[in-house]
Chain A
């Protein structure tokens, strides 16, 4: 009996190992190249998440239509991180351990990226994200596997401080959504603002999913600020603005670009007039914009410049595909090295995958994305420009561009 059970267990064990190895061999060998799309389809990132995910799928279609990479097709495994670190980690584990993906693209919230990054590092696969947390520039944290298609919060904070100075604000208060991104944003702003010799007259940290933020607003407004700088998302910004208007007290608002979506402006209506915001801008003048815009219109029914993060995820897949093509293998260490090779100068400028694939045969290339020029420094960060906007007659009106 004992022997029987043992041999049974051994046989099952051997079977499992065998099937696992053969699957692994398939993943490494000739099957499609597996890429994970981990995006905030629900939760605070939901205004962008669907578009982000659909653009990864659309970019993969474009790559496959151009004959795939390294002689193979790309297969996308799509998951929703729910803009929530716990859900993000569960989904990432599934992508890495079950789907055996070779890269994870498009985490959005800093909390999610920070939680998922250690898994990617341990599995030796790159993670391409759009988060702002300063820690994500730290090689000790990323191990060289992280690529930020957005800009670190520190730069965003300095940008807000410049904007407040230009507007002539003196008394500024901050309100932060209680998470890594919200707190980080207001803290780096406060630092930059104090370095300019100014003071923060009041600061409030608020919790998500409250039925009202009136008490929070009361505290901030009691300090009579010229302006309130928020580290917020669009749903809570909507509630804040609507409740603020009902207090009847005058002040100005500086709200992050990811929160001032068309839905936000529509929801808040005339109350939103005069709100200042800054965000990275889609490179509409770049030839890489047209194919992205076409795909975005087809999938989402809106123009491509309405979702900068979708432009980033489009670029992620194209850049990654070019890197795999350049590496000529799916070995993730090789691919990781060649991301900078295809994205940074020197090399022939390319804007679309098919062109890049062709030019790679002749020599080095430098991919220009539709979200930014995409030159990664040693920390995996890029230096895009900020567009500064004011909400005027129900739309974002471009004021000026800041390079920080």
Chain B
């Protein structure tokens, strides 16, 4: 029972990582670079939700505000930074994203200060099913995450723009020949990434505390999940995030709390040795 409880704890942690990894993997698959500003995107989303909650006095409206503004801000970052760098090497884009990350982190520090902020949520005792304790806050966060995932995958697989995005991810030249407008796809991509990142960030913020460095600290685990899931594979990223969370927590009785972080990297090492493409990735990837 103890292990099931640990696995549940792991799932709730893995959600945040999985969502962040989803944002990274979408950018990698379609815009073709490793987006190092994703971590600060999380922080930005969390602060937006805080501001939204304070203005409207409702967490739900705050969440909506965060998703919309974060999507717009991401489109803006595409227009101002990544579009200018399009066609350069992916290293240029990577460095651009690192710079953007610094800018966002610095600006948040100036505007909100380095003090921590917390979401005003009601803390209540958990549901008990036998010996299992299920946090109500976790359930709420899980449903928000599920909604976000449903919306993302719905967009990707059941809409025209989603098909276009996947076509660009598959083969940019071919997509262009078929009359797909890359600019439109990019705008759709960055809004989607902004929304997903905002959800990941605000869940992180609600579960923990919000500070300008909070999201940056999540970048490494999120990248790990994106790689484990098979870089460019949206479903893989989410699965990998959950898997890493569960693996970390279930390992704690054996390796303790300090080394559980290292364990997730052992998992990655193992997976990459056995299956270099990641869980759901394709070996050929981007040609």
Contacts and interface: CB of A to CB of B under 8 A. Distances in A.
Interface of A: 41-43, 46-47, 49-50, 178, 204-212, 214-216, 218-219, 234-235, 238-239, 242, 245-248, 263, 267, 269, 271
Nearest to B135: A246
Given A205-B257, A234-B116, A242-B118, 10 more contacts: A42-B114, A50-B113, A211-B218, A219-B252, A235-B116, A235-B209, A239-B209, A247-B133, A248-B125, A248-B133
Given A246-B123, A271-B123, A211 B115 contact: no
B116 A206 contact: no
Nearest to A82: B213
A220 B217 CA distance: 25
B257 A211 contact: no
Interface string B249-271: 10010001110110000000000
Contacts of A211: 13, 16-17, 204, 207-208, 218
B211 interface: yes
A268 to B, nearest CB: 8
A43 B213 contact: yes
Interface string B2-35: 1001100110110011000000000000000000
B209 A212 contact: no
A42 B213 contact: yes
A267 B116 contact: yes
Nearest to B213: A42
- The interface size bin for chain B is 35 or more
A207 B257 contact: yes
B154 interface: no
A209 B256 CA distance: 16
B105 to A, nearest CB: 9
Contacts of A235: 116, 208-209, 211
Contacts of B213: 42-43
Interface in B122-153: 123-126, 133, 135-137
Given A211-B218, A239-B209, A246-B126, A205 B256 contact: yes
A215 B9 contact: yes
B109 interface: yes
Contacts of A205: 256-258
B218 A206 contact: no
A300 to B, nearest CB: 11
Contacts of B5: 218
B126 A263 contact: no
Contacts of B217: 208-209
Contact of A263 (B9, B17, B116, B125): B116
14 contacts: A42-B212, A50-B113, A205-B256, A211-B13, A211-B17, A211-B204, A211-B218, A218-B6, A235-B116, A246-B124, A246-B137, A248-B125, A267-B116, A271-B123
A218 B135 CA distance: 13
B227 to A, nearest CB: 19
Contacts of B209: 235, 238-239, 267
A238 B114 contact: no
A266 to B, nearest CB: 8
Contact of A178 (B109, B133, B258): B258
A239 B208 contact: yes
Nearest to A245: B123
Nearest to A212: B13
A394 B258 CA distance: 33
Nearest to A264: B116
Contacts of B13: 210-212
Nearest to B114: A46
B133 A207 contact: no
A294 to B, nearest CB: 22
A214 B9 contact: yes
A214 B2 CA distance: 12
Contacts of B204: 211
A207 B136 CA distance: 25
A210 B12 CA distance: 12
Given A215-B9, A218-B5, A242-B123, A46 B115 contact: yes
Contacts of B2: 218
Nearest to B128: A248
Interface string B229-260: 00000000000000000000100100011101
B138 to A, nearest CB: 9
Contacts of A247: 125-126, 133
A204 B257 contact: yes
Contacts of A209: 217-218
Contacts of A234: 116
A208 B208 CA distance: 12
Nearest to B118: A267
A181 B282 CA distance: 46
Residue among B125, B133, B257 facing the most chain A CB atoms (10 A cut-off): B257
Nearest to A270: B123
B50 to A, nearest CB: 12
Contact of A248 (B16, B126, B258): B126
A47 B115 contact: yes
Contacts of B16: 211
The residue among A42, A209, A247 with the most chain B CB atoms within 10 A of its own CB is A209
